[in-house]
Amino acid sequence: MAETHCPYCALQCGMNLTPGAAGVEVAGREFPTNRGGLCRKGWTAAAVLGTPDRVTEPLIADGRGGFAAASWDMALDLIAERLIKLRSSYGADANGVFGGGGLTNEKAYLLGKFARVALGTAMIDYNGRFCMSSAAAAANRGLGLDRGLPFPVTDLDQAGQLLLLGSNVADTMPPFVQHLDGIRAGGGLIVVDPRRSATADLTADGGGLHLQPVPGTDLALLLGMIRIAIAEDLVDHDYLVARTEGFEALARSVAAWHPARTQTVTGVPASLIRQAVRLLASRAGSYVITGRGVEQHADGTDTATAAINLALVLGLVGRPDSGYGTLTGQGNGQGGREHGQKADQLPGYRMITDPTARAAVAEVWGVPADRLPGPGLPAVRLLASIGEPGGIRSLLVHGSNPVVSAPRSLAVAERLRRLDFLVVSDFVLSETARLADVVLPVTQWAEEDGTLTNLEGRVIRRRAAVTPPAGVRSELWILTELARRLGETTGFSADPETVFDELRRASAGGRADYSGISYARLDQGEACYWPYPEGGRSTPRPFTDGFPTPSGRAKLITVEYRGPADRLHRRGELVLITGRLLEHYQSGAQTRRVPELAAARPEAMLEIHPATASALGIGDGEPVRLHNDRGECRVRAVYSKAIRRDTVFLPFHFPDRQRANLLTTEETDPVSGMPEFKVASVRVERVAAD
Ligand code: SF4
């Protein structure tokens, strides 16, 4: 039996895996985030290990739309030859790397090192750009540190009040909901969501609140809430003086957001907004937590900043019984953004432009600091550079499926086809892998060792339970073999613990300092939250004694409401919002292959209000076409009174003509590079069944 964690979301529920004749048995394991509970995805996670379409040998495109099996030597030699040729013809930045927030810490770290040292390219980024980048940017500039939840999840067990903005935890991470039991019972749950989601439904117990704003107006709502807190003198004056800076400018910046204006812009009754602020300010144990619903916008960083500002003016952050946080989505979304696969960062969550950080990491890597490239392009711009002068001409994709998950995905697929060379490491022929010149089959979660960092900043162990199929390899082995072929004969290892040991040293002194963490400590069951410097201690609550800013105070940063980038232009358009279902995860590459989950949710369904549908002549269950300038989707409609009449909802887990991201925009947040996934103007019409 192996004690490990679920392969999916950042709650990283503890589970035990026991191999047997009938396959791998999954059992929930006692761990603070899940207390033995698992959701439907977790219980069925072992099914994907034996998926019949698993790729078990390297594949090379045959030029006729198919693939031919190849030996590892043949595939890796070909990749190295093509990358070297592209580098010598077009420069090192012609080769790009695209990572993922599901990769272990060791893989994320080695991928960043591989890009900067073996390829010498600046052009590396990852799918976390689509996930956590706005919340990360906001926390870094306001609090001096981005650690998703800067407190253990179990702190919420004693909480009295929670403002949850843009997160549907009841569907996305159901075991999390048990930590809200006390809050719900006391009527303290306030959910902000344009949909009456499963989580918004939880507010019905005990008299909580559901605020249902016009999509894309969350920032206006928060500015209005801050103004109410100031106007009604609900702010914590002592806290503001002792622990923050910038209050006067913030107060001036929100002065015009009087309740009537906030109601007009957001559609949320002013009385409800007032009630929410008063409740949040009046009770001990109040928390503000954001999710992708308010962050995946062209103003996502400013919206997350406003949420932090609200928590700060109420004096919630850095106290033992209250706080602000953001819920990381992907399994290693937290660790994935700390170890150097982000375009602008080196291991330890340090900026690649910082000379001190460059010198420290270069020393660990055994290379001159001036050999390290500078910052690359964030994900959307990296993919958009394909086919442009000076753009990337090859791409190595690890742990990601951008053909389904990237915005404006039709254009993304067309660009990937134009690459000189595309290599995809995956365990199946994902939608992205099907476009590849070479596919490298990799191990899965239950077949490998390593570490991840959960949504609390706690480092956890992944442990192998089964032997992988004979033909597959770990990404660590692949990167080591490729690095050797590119001339780096030392400095790369396929052994997870060896890589982690180097990661620890490379992170020492950084914001995400792992130098005090080891496999031995983790295996002894120690709860290791970063920063955990060597000789120091684990830090479950990093803001207790101050903020890691130059002044030691949190910064109240003024932000302006601009509204969504993708506005409704013509009569008859609706706002498309996208999100997740209980049964599926991310692009669905794993969960669509689990028979139980696929049977429960076999297709994308467009949630539409019955009144809106009737006006458009669309019957419940009928096929519809959604379209805009970027593409079109074909799905079936399902009536739902949970959604606003001006809004439709489509899950983003499905491929081909059901791909929600065929319709989303490449407009990005100017600070974080986050695409505006959560607002897209679309037209919807009934079509004949295929
Ligand atoms: Fe837990 Fe998330 Fe896995 Fe569900 S998907 S079992 S909530 S880690």
SS3 letters for 594-614? Answer: CHHHHHHCCCCEEEECHHHHH
Express each pLDDT in 22-75 by its tens digit: 889 999 999 999 999 999 999 999 999 989 999 999 999 999 989 999 999 999
SS3 581: coil
The pLDDT of 634-650, averaged and rounded, is: 96
Sign of CA dihedral 632, 637, 643, 649: negative
Mean pLDDT to the nearest integer, 423-439: 97
d(CA 315, CA 338): 28
Q: How far is CA 266 from the centre of its chain?
A: 26
> Which residue of 43, 44, 173 sits with most ligand 1 atoms within 8 Å of its CB, as the best mutation to test the pocket?
173
Give residue 176 CA to ligand 1 midpoint distance, Å. 9
Selection from 55, 306, 35 nearest residue 177 by Cα: 35
Nearest by Cα to 429 from 82, 51, 126, 99: 51
Write b or e for each residue in 224-233: b if 16 or more Cβ atoms lie within 10 A of its Cβ, otherwise e. Answer: bbbbbbbbee
Instruction: Report the nearest-CA residue for atom 1 of ligand 1.
Output: 13
Could you tell me the distance, in angstroms and rounded to a whole number, from the CA of residue 171 to the centre of ligand 1? 10
- Identify the structural domains of the chain with CATH numbers, from first to last: 2-50 (2.20.25.90), 59-124+332-494 (3.40.50.740), 133-326 (3.40.228.10), 574-686 (2.40.40.20)
Q: Which of 371, 350, 345, 331 is nearest to 491 (CA)?
A: 371
| Protein residue closest via CA to atom 7 of ligand 1 | 173
**With a 6 A CB cut-off, is 8 part of the ligand 1 pocket?**
yes
Side chain identity, residue 463: R
Strands (E), 454-571: 458-462, 528-529, 554-555
What average pLDDT does this structure show over 596-602?
96
330 Cα to the center of ligand 1, angstroms: 10
Please give the Cα distance from 298 to 216 (Å, whole number): 9
Q: What is the residue with the minimal CA distance to atom 4 of ligand 1?
A: 39
Name the β-bridge partners of 453: 459
Q: What pLDDT does 506 receive?
A: 97
Which atom of ligand 1 is nearest to 9's Cα? 2
47 alpha carbon – ligand 1 mean position (Å):
15
Span 518-542, average pLDDT: 97
13 Cα: distance to centroid of ligand 1 (angstroms): 6
39 lines ligand 1 (CB under 6 A): yes
Three-state DSSP at 685 gives: strand
Q: How far apart are the first and last CA of the chain?
A: 48
Q: Over the stretch 532-542, which tens digit does the pLDDT of each residue have?
A: 999 999 999 99
Give 65: exposed, middle or buried? Use CB within 10 Å, 0-12, 13-18, 19+: exposed
614: pLDDT strictly greater than 90: yes
Q: Is the CB–ligand 1 distance for residue 4 below 6 Å?
A: no
What's the mean per-residue pLDDT of the chain? 95
Q: 31 and 169 in contact (C-beta within 8 Å)?
A: no
State which ligand 1 atom lies nearest to the alpha carbon of 175.
7
> What atom in ligand 1 is closest to the CA of residue 42?
6
Q: How confident is the model at residue 485 (pLDDT cuts 50, 70, 90)?
A: very high
Rounded Cα distance, 306 and 145, in Å? 16
pLDDT at 302 over 70: yes
CB 423 within 8 A of CB 114: no
Query: How far apart are alpha carbons 514 and 147 in whole angstroms?
Result: 13
Residues in CB range of 132: below 8 A, 6 or more apart? 101, 148, 295, 326, 328, 329, 330, 333, 334, 337
Average pLDDT over residues 172-184: 96
pLDDT band (50, 70, 90) for residue 496 = very high
User: What pLDDT does residue 233 have?
Assistant: 97
Q: Report the distance separating Cα 151 and Cα 114, nearest Å.
A: 33
Q: Give the residue-averaged pLDDT of 604-610.
A: 97
Q: 192 near 234, Cβ under 8 Å?
A: no
Average the pLDDT over each of 33-42, 210-219, 584-593 and give the range with the smallest value. 584-593
Helix axes 475-485, 72-90, angle to 10 degrees: 50
Q: Please, which pLDDT band fits residue 179 given cuts at 50, 70 and 90? A: very high
Distance CA 65, CA 124 (A): 28
Residue 336 Cβ inside 6 Å of ligand 1? The answer reads no
* Pocket flag, ligand 1, residue 223 (CB < 6 Å): no
Instruction: Give the integer Cα–Cα distance in Å for 569 and 566.
Output: 9
Residues in Cβ contact with 321 at an 8 Å cutoff, skipping those fewer than 6 apart: 155, 158, 159, 284, 285
Degrees (nearest 5) of the Cα angle 377, 379, 385? 60
- Per-residue pLDDT, averaged over 451-468, amounts to 97
Confidence of residue 568 (pLDDT cuts 50, 70, 90): low
- d(Cα 456, Cα 289) in Å, to the nearest integer? 12
With a 6 A CB cut-off, is 34 part of the ligand 1 pocket? yes
Kindly state the DSSP code that residue 299 receives in the 8-state scheme. T
Residue type at 597 in one-letter notation: L
* Distance (Å) from CA 606 to ligand 1 centroid: 25
* Per-residue pLDDT at 93: 98
Count of C-beta atoms within a 10 Å radius of residue 617: 9
Burial category of 522 from C-beta neighbours within 10 Å (exposed 0-12, middle 13-18, buried 19 and up): middle
Where do runs of H (alpha helix) occur along 119-201? 133-143, 169-172, 181-185, 198-201
pLDDT category at 206 given cuts 50, 70, 90 is: confident
State residue 284's pLDDT score: 78
Residue 567 has pLDDT above 90, yes or no: no
- DSSP for 50-72, please give it: G-TTB--S-EEE-SSSSEEE--H
Question: Which residue carries 């004694």 as its tokens?
Answer: 545
Write the residue with the smallest CA distance to atom 6 of ligand 1. Answer: 42
Q: Which is the closest atom of ligand 1 to the Cα of 15?
A: 6
What kind and span of H or E run contains 560?
Answer: none
State the CB neighbour count (10 A cutoff) for residue 51: 16
pLDDT in tens, 326-363: 999 889 999 999 999 999 999 999 999 999 999 999 99
Cβ-proximal residues to 59 (8 Å cutoff; 6+ apart), any chain: 67, 68, 69, 70, 75, 429, 436, 438, 439, 441
CA–CA gap between residue 112 and residue 127 (Å, rounded): 14
Chain centroid, CA 262 distance in Å:
29
With a 6 Å cutoff on the Cβ, whether 6 touches ligand 1 is yes
Alpha carbon distances (Å) from 256 to 64, 231, 248, 560, 563:
62, 11, 14, 11, 16
Q: Is the CB of 41 under 6 A from ligand 1?
A: yes
pLDDT confidence of residue 564: 87
| pLDDT greater than 70 at residue 671 | yes
Instruction: Say whether pLDDT at 617 is over 90.
Output: yes
C-alpha distances in Å from residue 326, one per residue of 447, 503, 628: 30, 25, 32
